[in-house]
């Protein structure tokens, strides 16, 4: 037993997928993503499309800590947020959501 705390390099990658919520207004959508505990996220991509299988990137934003928002002009019925590392590799993607008005 020791009273000392040791600081070591640490990285977090939650077992659960990121969570996303989205709102739509006047032909534009804003989605917000959060992935509590993830340490390797450099950017978030906003995906949009008519179905989960047909989603494509429409915007991206640098990671802003606990919650990151990205906006794009789109009227697609589904959106999702994809977490990317500094090299552009996909870490995880949220479940698709329908933007609310």
Predicted local confidence at residue 23, as pLDDT: 98
> Mind listing the pLDDT tens digit of every residue in the chain (101 residues)?
667 766 777 788 899 999 999 999 999 999 999 999 899 999 999 999 999 999 999 999 999 988 999 999 999 999 999 999 999 999 999 999 999 98
Domain extent listing, the chain: 19-93
Cα 60 to the center of its chain, rounded Å: 9
Q: Give pTM, 2 decimals.
A: 0.89
Predicted local confidence at residue 7, as pLDDT: 78
Predicted local confidence at residue 1, as pLDDT: 64
Residue 50 is given by DSSP the state S
State both tokens at 54: 């047909």
CATH topology for the 19-93 domain:
Immunoglobulin-like (2.60.40)
The residues that bridge with 28 in the sheet, in sequence order, are 25, 73
């Amino acid at each position: 037993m020791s009273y000392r705390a040791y600081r070591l390099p640490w990285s977090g990658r939650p077992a659960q997928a990121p969570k996303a919520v989205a709102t739509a207004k006047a032909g534009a959508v804003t989605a917000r993503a959060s992935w509590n505990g993830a340490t390797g996220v450099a950017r978030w991509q906003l995906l949009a499309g008519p179905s989960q299988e047909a989603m494509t990137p429409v915007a991206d934003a640098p990671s802003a800590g606990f919650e990151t928002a990205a906006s794009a002009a789109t009227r697609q019925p589904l959106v999702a947020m994809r977490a990317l590392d500094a090299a552009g590799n996909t870490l995880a993607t949220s479940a698709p959501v329908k933007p609310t008005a």
